[in-house]
């Protein structure tokens, strides 16, 4: 418990630091002394606080979504960006842009969630029908499925001259997050809390359908709940900031290595670590090439690719 409190305080310190990093200068001491001007308060209230809140909510939500997907698929290499989930949500966003561009943000999120739900269900359906001799093949199936969906999205975006709009929600960039444009992410927080209350059921479901049924668990309902949480969280993040790859791969595996696989115990750590990772990547992206920004999605793509390859190589060395 003490260790978790220390980690929570460190996360809070990182979040506070995020408030004062950016092109517009905001002085911490000026705020404390009451000498802040109107512009400083405007930037803080309209941009920095919403951005920091969005970073925390998105990171925690995507990390928990990755954990649930790994349990349902029983594979450590699976997460929304390696299972076609985020690509399906992007296809849903494109469908909204083509057919009903004036829909409110919440409706766009629901449409994207339906597409993400369908894509994730298709991925799990393929896994049940394809004989997979190696766990490494599971994310490869997901990456191929995501590639097909992304190709369809790119085709229609190019056909209707929407490539630039599509790039806006696939880059994983929080620079455009303002007050009034991130509130849908609070739904991700509610779903993360729901995942915690259902943690024991997800743990049992992760042991397989037959084992779960013998223990009296309704396996199909638990899987449906997991898919709903994953799709809604993914859609809310894609609608707000775009694709954030590999969070659900990096964080659950690191937490599992350090603390084991008891979901009710590890889920708060997963959420906290996901928030820390996104906060850290965003802060580095704002500092490393100031006054320009490197999108969080690009930073996560580099870190996640290295981590993914290291997992593959380590598994290969153990098998040898």
Residue the block writes with tokens 């200068």: 25
Q: Percentage of the chain surpassing pLDDT 90?
A: 4
* CATH number, position 123: 1.10.3470.10
CA–CA distances in Å: residue 301 to residues 227, 243, 247, 267, 308: 24, 10, 9, 23, 10
Q: Is residue 211 over pLDDT 70?
A: yes
Which DSSP category does 80 fall into?
Answer: G
Judge if the upstream peptide bond of residue 138 is cis by omega within 30 degrees of 0: no
Which one, of 196, 270, 227, 207, lies nearest residue 84 by Cα?
227
Helix, strand, coil in percent for the chain, rounding step 5? 75, 0, 25
**Cα separation, 136 vs 118, whole angstroms:** 23
Mean pLDDT value of segment 206-235 = 83
pLDDT digits (tens, 9 = 90+) for 72-82: 888 888 888 88
CB-hemisphere CA count at 13 Å for 199? 15
d(Cα 213, Cα 233) in Å, to the nearest integer? 27
Total domain count for the chain?
A: 1
pTM of the entire structure?
A: 0.86
Structure-token pair, residue 189: 């927080």
**Domain of 256, in residue numbers:** 2-319
At residue 115, the pLDDT reads: 92
Q: Shortest CA distance to 70 belongs to which of 61, 62, 79?
A: 79
For range 280-285, the mean pLDDT: 87
What pLDDT, on the 0 to 100 scale, is given for residue 132?
64
> How high is the pLDDT of residue 49?
87
Residue 148: pLDDT above 80?
Answer: yes
Note whether 90 and 169 are within 8 A (CB): yes
pLDDT score at 32: 63
The answer on pLDDT for 133 being more than 70 is no
pLDDT at 180 over 80: no
Residue 134 clears pLDDT 80, i.e. is over it: no
Residue 307 has pLDDT above 70, yes or no: yes
Q: What is the pLDDT of residue 34?
A: 61
Q: What local confidence, expressed as pLDDT, does residue 35 receive?
A: 60
Residues 91-130 pLDDT 10s: 998 898 888 888 888 888 889 889 998 998 898 888 888 7
Measure the CA–CA gap between 185 and 241, rounded to whole angstroms: 10
Query: Does the pLDDT value for residue 320 go beyond 60?
Result: no
Handedness of CA 196, 242, 248, 10 (dihedral sign): negative
In Å, how far from its chain's centre is CA 285?
A: 18
């Amino acid at each position: 418990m003490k260790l978790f409190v220390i980690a929570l305080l460190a996360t809070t310190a990182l979040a506070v630091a995020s408030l004062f990093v950016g092109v517009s200068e905001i002085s911490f001491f000026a705020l404390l002394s009451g000498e802040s001007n109107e512009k400083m308060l405007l930037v803080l209230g309209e941009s920095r606080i919403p951005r920091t809140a969005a970073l925390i909510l998105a990171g925690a939500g995507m990390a928990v979504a990755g954990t649930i997907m790994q349990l349902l698929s029983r594979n450590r290499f699976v997460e929304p960006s390696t299972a076609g989930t985020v690509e399906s949500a992007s296809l849903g966003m494109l469908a909204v842009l083509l057919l009903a561009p004036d829909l409110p943000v919440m409706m766009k999120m629901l449409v994207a969630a339906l597409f993400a739900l369908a894509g994730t269900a298709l991925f799990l359906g393929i896994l049940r029908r394809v004989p997979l001799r190696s766990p490494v093949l599971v994310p490869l199936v997901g990456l191929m499925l995501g590639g097909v969906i992304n190709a369809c999205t790119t085709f229609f975006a190019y056909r209707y001259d929407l490539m630039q709009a599509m790039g806006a929600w696939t880059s994983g960039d929080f620079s455009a997050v303002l007050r009034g444009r991130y509130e849908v992410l609070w739904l991700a927080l509610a779903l993360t809390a729901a995942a915690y209350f259902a943690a024991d059921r997800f743990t049992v479901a992760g042991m397989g359908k037959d084992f779960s049924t013998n223990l009296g668990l309704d396996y199909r309902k638990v899987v449906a709940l997991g898919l709903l949480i994953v799709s809604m969280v993914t859609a809310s993040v894609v609608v707000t900031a775009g694709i954030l790859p590999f969070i659900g791969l990096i964080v659950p595996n690191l937490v599992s290595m350090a603390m084991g696989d008891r979901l009710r115990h590890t889920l708060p750590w997963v959420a906290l670590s996901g928030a820390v990772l996104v906060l850290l990547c965003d802060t580095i992206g704002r500092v490393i090439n100031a006054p320009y920004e490197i999108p969080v999605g690009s930073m996560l793509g580099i870190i996640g690719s290295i981590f993914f390859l290291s997992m593959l190589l380590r598994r290969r060395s153990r098998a040898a």
